[in-house]
Structures are given as structure tokens and as C-alpha cells.
Chains A and B, each alone.
Chain A
Amino acid sequence: MRDGMFVFDNVVHMYDNKASNIGPRGEQVARNLHGFGVALSNEQYPANDHFLGEELSVEEAGRILFEESETDMAMAQTVPLFGWWKDGFSPARRQYALKEAFPDRVLFCGGVDPLFQGVEGACNEMTRQAEEWGSVSFKFYQAHDNSLSWRIDDRQIAYPMWERALELGITNVQFHKGVPFGTERMEHMHPTDIQQAAIDFPELTFVIHHLGDPYIDESISVAARNPNVWLALSAWINIYPIMPREALKRLGKALMNVGPDRLVWGSEAFVWPNVQGYIDLFATMEMPENLQEDYGYPQITRDTKRKIFGENYARLMGIDVGQKLKTIHGSDERTP
């Protein structure tokens, strides 16, 4: 809890960069990812210093999230990038391990890829992850090396997975958009392929991560026009220490056009381990007067922070926040 606000981190990654998990050209891409973290770091908000060549332990993840930060709940998200990593950057089994260690506080988000596993194989693995490991959402990465990619609105490749998700009772699917790690083609990371799928599957919510950076305007436009498209602020708060003005403009544009009800908090732990530092930043963030004046962006009110910090994603996941807080802390001490 932060100042009486429920904190639900939509995305943390239990990474595995051990040599045994690195695939062809994967070492360079892992270094690229670490370099991205370093570029957006400073002394107070450092990049992870034991990222390369290692996997994160459940104990360290639990300490960072639940002992050293005010995070109440987190979703451990699989990263099914099977080209550069043999079992993906953040394997499903490691995300499940975190959920098993903290069953009241961590949700498991599975992940599959129809190009590497085949459409039927991906669907079958979705079923296994849901039935055996309790997956409540799925994460997808569409752009791979050598121009390999698939589209969210592909009726042969993608729609069977959306149908399977709904059959499993899973109502939200999530997408890495923008933010390339290596030599993926940028057009394969564009968010506009969500539009037709969002129309065809109105009972499924599609979550765009990273505001689709650099396709921020497009991501916001897609979300603004489609009520079942949400935006995850993952890797957004992480740019704030280096580019505060840019971060505020991105948030302001999302708030103005999408509103505060479909934005969710994501720390991107454990690329950057100072989870509490980012919570502090957002809890005290204000929209500068000149951005309100010049761009018309709304103030970041307490109500907005409360929704983004956790109540929005809890609503999407069907979690009774009061009951959950009583289970975790013994009492519900939220304040308006």
C-alpha cells in the first residue's frame, strides 16, 4: 500500500540469462536489453547489476517486491522470445515459480508463440499453462529475428489463440509493442494490428505495453477508440529519471485521450530493481502548470494515481481489492 492506495504491479519478469538458456545471437540481444536498462538509469535508479549470465532467484524477487517496496500484488509475465533465448527471456516456469512462492500476491501470466510452437502447439500450451499453472493472462511478442513475425488480426495464426483464451476463461491478453531488443523490424512492433481483433473479440481485453514506444500516438489512438484496449505504463516510469518532461508528456497525452480508467502500473522489474523508487516517483508526480497550460493535459489527481497504481488492473482481473488486502495484510486500510 502506498499512502492508502493499493499497488498492483502489472509486469515483472523473472529473467533467465544463464548461458544454458541463451540461443543463437541471444547473447548480443541480452546485452542490448541490459544496455537499454543502463541508458535509462542513474545512481538512484540503477539498472540491474547482475542481469547478464544469471537468472533471478525467487528469494531476491520476493525481497525486492514485497519487503523493500510497497507493492501489494504483482503479475509475473512470461517473455516467449524463443529465438534469442531457448526457453524465452523470462520462461513460463520461472514466472510460475514466483507465483508458487507468493500465491496470495503474485499472478502468473503465461506466454506462447505461434511461429515457434505452431498454432496448435501454442494453443495447447496455453491450455496447459492455464490448467496446470493457473495462468490468468497471456503475453505475446510478435516480432523476432530475420523479419519473422505474426499479426494480432491474423485469422489463421492469431484468432485461434484468442478463442482459446476465452475458452479458458481468460479475458485479457497482452502485447509487447514498440521497444525493439535487436534487429526486429519496427513495423512488426506497430500497435495498429490490434484494432480488428479488438472489434472481433469484444469480450477480450487487449493490453498494449510500453505505450508502443515509439508508436505512442498510434497506441493512444487505438486505445482511445476501442474500449477493450488498455495501456500498460511499463517502461514508462523507468524513463522518468532520465527524461521527466518526456514521461509527463506521454502520460498527459494518454490521460487526455484514453482517460485514467484503462491505464495500468508496471515497474518492469527486474531490469530496474529499484521498484520502491519508481512507486515514490509516481506517488508524488504532478502535471506541471505549463503542460496543463500549453498542452491541456489534466492534473494527475489522487483518484488517477489510485486507479493506475492498482485498482484498474484489479478491476480487469476481477479481484476484490478489499478482500485481497485483508488476506495479505490482515486489514483493508485504503483511503479515498
Chain B
Amino acid sequence: MTANGDLQQRVDAAIREHIARFLDSHGGAVASAAVTSDGDVTLQFDGACRACPAVAATFFSKVAPIVRAVPGVRSVHAPNVNVSEAAVTRILALSAPVRRTPER
């Protein structure tokens, strides 16, 4: 097993553990397509995710944080996710955890 192969296995394991069932619930899928020795991960969305209008939201709010949390991963991108920085900022703002203030 090469270092790349080991990292790719850990990336796919994280996807399976945290996100695969959610995507599969509506016919989508994602897996690693390539991992470089520097830890740059390319993902491939498939099934219903391939041309889903919401794939950017899925990627930036759900998938990318999980993959980035895998030790050794430096960056993550998906070729079929093509949106502006403004859209990414909006997605991240919408998906950020809401801090609840205690009721008085």
C-alpha cells in the first residue's frame, strides 16, 4: 500500500462513515477519484449528484469538511462543482452551526 493509497482509503472510509448513506438516500454518491502525495484530493460525484443543482451546497457544507478532517489531506475539490466564491461564502454561512442563546 502506497502512502497515497493509504490516504485514499482513509478518505473513502470517512466518506462511507459520515456521508455516503445520506447521499445514497436520494440516489447520489461520491468517492475519491485521485489523491496526490501532497494530500490533494479530487472527488467524483456520481448518480443523482452528478448534475444536481445543489451539488455545490452538498460539497461545501457536508462533504468537503469531512474529507478535510482526514489527517494528511491538504485540499479537496470536485470537478463538477463550479460556483463563484460568493456562492461558497453563502453556502458556508447558511450551513454554519446556529449558536442558540438560552431562554430567559
Chain B binds chain A: yes
Residues of A within 8 A of B (CB): 221, 224-225, 255-257, 259-261, 287, 289, 292-293, 296-299
Q: Which of B1-9, B25-33, B77-85 contacts A (4 or more CB under 8 A)?
A: B77-85
What total of chain B residues lie within 8 Å of the partner, measured CB to CB? 13
Q: How many A-B residue pairs have CB under 8 A?
A: 39
Q: What B residues does A261 contact at CB under 8 A?
A: 79
**Does B51 contact A297, Cβ atoms closer than 8 Å?**
no
Contact with A292, one of B50, B80, B87 (Cβ below 8 angstroms): B87
The residues in B between 35 and 90 inclusive whose CB is less than 8 angstroms from any CB of A are 50-51, 53, 56, 79-80, 82-87, 90
**Does A292 contact B79, Cβ atoms closer than 8 Å?**
no
**Does B51 contact A260, Cβ atoms closer than 8 Å?**
no
**Does B82 contact A292, Cβ atoms closer than 8 Å?**
no
13 A-B interface contacts by CB (under 8 A): A224-B80, A257-B51, A257-B53, A257-B82, A259-B80, A289-B86, A292-B85, A293-B86, A296-B83, A296-B84, A297-B83, A297-B84, A298-B83
Cα distance, A299 to B82, chains bound together (Å) = 9
Contact with B82, one of A225, A255, A289, A293 (Cβ below 8 angstroms): A255
- CB A255 to nearest CB in B, in angstroms, measures 5
With A292-B84, A296-B90, A297-B84 given, can you name 18 additional A-B contacts, CB distance below 8 Å?
A221-B51, A224-B80, A225-B50, A255-B82, A256-B56, A257-B51, A257-B82, A259-B82, A287-B84, A292-B86, A293-B84, A293-B86, A296-B84, A296-B86, A297-B83, A298-B83, A299-B84, A299-B85
- CB A96 to nearest CB in B, in angstroms, measures 37
Closest to B79 in A: A259
**Does B87 contact A296, Cβ atoms closer than 8 Å?**
yes
Cα distance, A224 to B80, chains bound together (Å) = 9
Cα distance, A293 to B80, chains bound together (Å) = 19
Q: What B residues does A287 contact at CB under 8 A?
A: 84
- CB A283 to nearest CB in B, in angstroms, measures 20
Cα distance, A255 to B53, chains bound together (Å) = 12
Cα distance, A287 to B87, chains bound together (Å) = 13
Cα distance, A69 to B84, chains bound together (Å) = 32
Closest to A299 in B: B84
Q: Given A255-B82, A256-B82, A287-B84, A296 and B56 touching (CB < 8 A)? A: yes
Q: What B residues does A299 contact at CB under 8 A?
A: 84-85
Q: What A residues does B56 contact at CB under 8 A?
A: 256, 296
**Does A298 contact B84, Cβ atoms closer than 8 Å?**
yes
- CB B95 to nearest CB in A, in angstroms, measures 15
Which of A221, A224, A289: most chain B Cβ within 10 A? Answer: A224
Q: What B residues does A298 contact at CB under 8 A?
A: 82-84
5 A-B pairs closest in CB distance: A296-B87, A224-B51, A292-B84, A225-B51, A293-B86
Closest to A254 in B: B82
- CB A261 to nearest CB in B, in angstroms, measures 7
Q: What A residues does B90 contact at CB under 8 A?
A: 296
Cα distance, A334 to B80, chains bound together (Å) = 26
Cα distance, A86 to B50, chains bound together (Å) = 44
Q: What B residues does A224 contact at CB under 8 A?
A: 50-51, 80
- CB A297 to nearest CB in B, in angstroms, measures 6
